[in-house]
Structure 1
Amino acid sequence: MRAVSYTRFGPADKVLELTRLDTPSPAAGEVLVRVAFSGVNPSDAKARAGARPGVTKPAFDRIIPHSDGSGVIDAVGDGVDPARVGQPVWIWNGQWQRAFGTAADHIALPADQAVPLPEGVSLEAGATLGIPGLTAAQTVFGGGEVAGKTLLVSGGAGAVGHDAVQLAKWAGATVIATCAASGIDRVRAAGADHAFDYSDPDLAAKINDASGGQGVDRAVEVEFGANAALLAEVMKPLGTIAAYGSGKDMTPRIPFGAFLFKALKIDVTLIYILHAPERQAAIARLHRALGEGALRPSIHAIYPLDACAAAQDTTMTPGRAGAVLLDLR
């Protein structure tokens, strides 16, 4: 099979190589998926670059990157219903703590990590549901129903944020989103009741006005460190900050007094290690929203497999409007 892989850390165009490897066979409890689209995420680019603290070399001799993807089941291992052969699926955690991910013609993985694709949902959309989709669903719904609540989504034009805006609006929340000025119209079109430029010097006042002076019940936060002071100003007492990123400041300084006297909760989300019941609930939310036409994952660009390096670089480019995919068909 064709595969893109790397054996050392470094720039994408220096260490990613297109090669041919043996097609894997599904072990007991596994399925073999013929990959149609591989989802490329910033976490894949950071892992390949060796950007994770304390990690000095790849965990395996050769790594095929990417955890997200979609395709069709070609074969099943012992203990898996043979009727699944030919079933369209989407994939989560394809390369999490494993050597071989979805940047290849085939991937063998545990059967429950190949989720049946709902009828009418494209393979392209399916390849976005692993990291962006599940993160959006968990950060929006991880504290329960949001109908009648006010949610703040930072980075509302990004792959996760754009999904989160749609999901929160579908569920009956008042949605306030922040993004770059260039993304405001797109974020409003996704369902945000209010969209503001994140660099606006009056941002806190505008968010408070948009909440009717009541404050934000739940924040979906992509840059916790950079926005901690803002959150202290705009959150409602007893509110929750569902933080899934802090790339600009990985050692945040928290205005603890302000957080304390509002009794704010920080709910850090790492979708890779979500407990099974929570993951199943998030999957069910995504499928319902897709089925009702309330969620339309945005795709920024699709590259061929041999342009994997460019695809990974694109995921790290500011202003990206949606997911990045590899087309392996």
Structure 2
Amino acid sequence: MRAVVYTRNGDPAVLHLGERPTPEPGPGEVRVRLAFAGVNPTDWKSRRNTPPGPGGQVPGQDGAGTVEVVGQGVDPALVGERVWVWEAAWQRPHGTAAEYTVVPARQTVLLGAEPSLQLGAALGIPFLTAHRCLTLGESVPDRLGPGTLDGRTVLVQGGAGAVGNAAIQLARWSDATVITTVSSPQKAQLAAAAGASHVVDYTRQDVVTEVGKIVPDGVDAIVEVSAARNATVDAQVIGRHGAVAMYADDGGAEVTVPVRAQMVANARWQFVFVYTEPRRAKEIAVEDVNAAVLDGAIGVGEDAGLPLHVFPLAETAQAHRAVEEGAVGKVLVDVTA
């Protein structure tokens, strides 16, 4: 099979397209013929920092395609089904930047006939991360769906990013009031397209003032992309029993929090790394995200506030570079091109 592999850490130039043996599924596993692979920040960070195994590493946690072969103990009715895949390369050599990947059956989710395979490849890490960020507070439920966030207000810091977009879409599906911050009029248009109720351009407006106009008592949940930069703002706008979910790292930055004010609010500040979150929380996230997909509540592309940047498999290095350089939208690899 054709696959992109790296055998040493480094910049995107270490990624090479070549031929590898087609993997066979073991007990409890399935082999998926991939159509699209998603590219996430953790892909390039792993490529730079996590040594690959002796046989090399195929990058890519997320993807979508068709189940081709099932291993022992897996229902053969899955063969031929369209699925989306999550965490394919987490502590495994077979990522999604290849014609085939092998994963445990639980890491494939039925996509159905209608949703696009591009959408399926864009789900995984961004949407599971967003789900965790929206559900870990004491004042919010641990499930998402229509009505579950009715009466709650969510602040999404950085609403034009992939996780920010996912958080907006999931929160709106759950009937929350969604406030988001952006850094330009163009990103404001994307956040509005995703479904944000209120968009604040932090380069031109004071976030604390604008949020206070919308919800004087503070927000219930903050989805935080840059905790080191935004902690002072977050501490001022978080409501009683609210939670700040920090899911991204500003290059090893540290966070300073005003302790007394957060004590009075009984606020929660929690870090989120989707790969190591509790197993049950992740199972719930997969179920809820897929329910939103089947409900037609999630989309990709300009109309959903998430422009797509699609690269052929042979240009996976360029796809990695685009994510590393902060491409606005979602970067995908077309495995069939």
1:85 maps onto 2:88 in alignment: no
SS in 1 for 2:321: helix
Q: What does 1:34-49 correspond to in 2, within 5 Å?
A: 34-49=33-48
Shift of 1:248: 5.1
Q: What does 1:1-329 correspond to in 2, within 5 Å?
A: 1-13=1-13, 15-50=14-49, 57-143=51-137, 144=141, 145-181=148-184, 182-200=186-204, 202-211=206-215, 213-247=216-250, 250-297=253-300, 298-318=306-326, 320-329=327-336
Shift of 1:249: 5.2
Shift of 1:110: 0.9
Deviation digits for residues 110-157 of structure 1 (CA, Å, limit 9, x no counterpart):
111111113311111001111011112222234414221110001101
2: CA distance between counterparts of 1:170 and 1:269? 22
Shift of 1:254: 2.3
* Structure 1 runs of 4+ with >6 Å offset: none
Conserved 8 A contact 2:7-2:53:
no
SS in 1 for 2:91: coil
Q: Which amino acid aligns with 2:200?
A: F
2: CA distance between counterparts of 1:67 and 1:151? 27
1: CA distance between counterparts of 2:113 and 2:290? 10
Q: Which amino acid aligns with 1:322?
A: G
Conserved 8 A contact 2:6-2:56:
yes
* Residues 69 and 45 (structure 1), Cα distance of their counterparts in 2 relative to 1, 3 Å cut: same
Deviation digits for residues 44-100 of structure 1 (CA, Å, limit 9, x no counterpart):
0111122xxxx5x33554111011001111111111111111111111110001122
Deviation digits for residues 298-323 of structure 1 (CA, Å, limit 9, x no counterpart):
342010001001100111233x3321
Shift of 1:272: 1.3
1: CA distance between counterparts of 2:22 and 2:228? 43
The two structures have a TM-score, normalised by structure 1, of 0.93
Shift of 1:257: 2.9
Identity of aligned residues (%): 39
Shift of 1:35: 0.9
Uncovered stretches (5+) of structure 1, i.e. residues with no partner:
none
2: CA distance between counterparts of 1:294 and 1:9? 38
Q: Which residue of 1 aligns with 2:145?
A: none
SS in 1 for 2:325: coil
Uncovered stretches (5+) of structure 2, i.e. residues with no partner:
142-147, 301-305
SS in 1 for 2:291: helix
Conserved 8 A contact 2:168-2:178:
yes
1: CA distance between counterparts of 2:290 and 2:94? 27
Shift of 1:278: 1.8
SS in 2 for 1:127: helix
2: CA distance between counterparts of 1:61 and 1:119? 36
Deviation digits for residues 1-46 of structure 1 (CA, Å, limit 9, x no counterpart):
0011111111102x11111011011111111111111111111011
1: CA distance between counterparts of 2:313 and 2:335? 6
Q: Which amino acid aligns with 2:328?
A: A
The count of residues paired between Structure 1 and Structure 2 equals 321
Shift of 1:275: 3.0
1: CA distance between counterparts of 2:109 and 2:48? 29
Q: Which amino acid aligns with 2:98?
A: A
2: CA distance between counterparts of 1:180 and 1:59? 40
Q: Which amino acid aligns with 1:9?
A: N
SS in 1 for 2:248: coil
Conserved 8 A contact 2:311-2:332:
yes
SS in 2 for 1:152: strand
SS in 2 for 1:239: strand
Q: Which amino acid aligns with 1:70?
A: A
2: CA distance between counterparts of 1:155 and 1:303? 25
Conserved 8 A contact 1:226-1:248:
no
Q: Which amino acid aligns with 1:122?
A: S
Q: Which residue of 1 aligns with 2:144?
A: none
